[in-house]
């Protein structure tokens, strides 16, 4: 009963955070001058033991992850594009290198990971999604498409959750930061 009550408290809290970060979802889709948003590295900070700044070359040192075909589906369910032959690394591997802080056994269950773009766009993942569900196998920080560096309209580093049903809302162009936060005590 107490565990169910705790879970009932966490779900609305997580939903409220996700809703708060989703407000600029449409602003992220097209930029008048995408070159002003291009980032050359990502910062990993927050509730981690080792803050990181990773360039594309740094990311290439991680175990590679490749996806041949990912449809981009927006919140409405409409297919709005396609990501083909992307190469990158699992977000989970980046977080393991940074080492998420967990002072108490259950801290990770109260932790979210926020992916931030240089245009202000943000998306949220729970620690459990990334480390304790099949979804974590498909959250990729990518830097190549069709064997080439990403163009300005995507940035040098981007992120996508390939196992989402609607992949568009958690497709982060111009990825600049990964922040780890404990959301409840």
* CA 173 to centroid of chain Cα atoms: 10
- What residue numbers bound the domain in which 85 lies? 2-25+34-182
Helices marked H in 23-147: 56-60, 91-98, 127-131
Q: What is the pLDDT of residue 6?
A: 47
Domain harbouring 132, CATH code:
3.90.420.10
C-alpha pair distances (Å), 56 with each of 19, 30, 72, 88, 138: 30, 23, 23, 9, 19
Domain count, the chain: 1
Q: What is the pLDDT of residues 18-28, one digit of tens each?
A: 444 444 443 45
Question: For a pLDDT cut of 70, what percent of the chain falls above it?
Answer: 83
87 Cβ contact partners less than 8 Å away, ≥ 6 residues apart: 64, 65, 66, 142, 143, 144, 145, 147
Tell the burial category of 85 from Cβ atoms under 10 Å away from its Cβ (0-12, 13-18, 19+). Answer: middle
Question: For a pLDDT cut of 90, what percent of the chain falls above it?
Answer: 75
Cα dihedral 97, 139, 69, 54 sign:
negative
SS3 of 78, please? coil
pTM over 0.85: no
Q: What is the pLDDT of residues 52-69, one digit of tens each?
A: 999 999 999 999 999 999
C-alpha pair distances (Å), 11 with each of 109, 113, 135: 11, 15, 18
Give the closest residue to 131 by CA, choosing from 91, 160, 104: 91
């Amino acid at each position: 009963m107490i565990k169910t009550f705790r879970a009932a408290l966490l779900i609305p809290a997580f939903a409220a955070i996700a809703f708060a970060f989703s407000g600029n979802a449409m602003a992220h889709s097209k930029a008048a001058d995408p070159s002003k948003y291009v980032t050359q590295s990502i910062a990993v900070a927050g509730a981690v033991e080792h803050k990181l700044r990773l360039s594309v070359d740094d990311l290439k040192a991680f175990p590679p992850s490749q996806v041949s075909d990912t449809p981009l589906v927006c919140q409405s369910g409409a297919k709005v594009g396609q990501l083909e032959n992307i190469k990158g690394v699992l977000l989970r591997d980046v977080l393991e290198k940074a080492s998420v802080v967990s002072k108490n056994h259950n801290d990770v269950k109260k932790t979210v990971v926020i992916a931030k773009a240089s245009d202000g766009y943000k998306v949220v993942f729970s620690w459990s999604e990334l480390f304790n569900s099949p979804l974590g196998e498909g959250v990729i920080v990518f830097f190549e498409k069709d064997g080439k560096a990403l163009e300005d309209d995507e940035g040098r580093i981007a992120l996508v959750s390939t196992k989402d049903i609607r992949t568009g809302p958690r497709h982060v162009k111009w990825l600049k930061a990964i922040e780890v936060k404990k959301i409840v005590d």
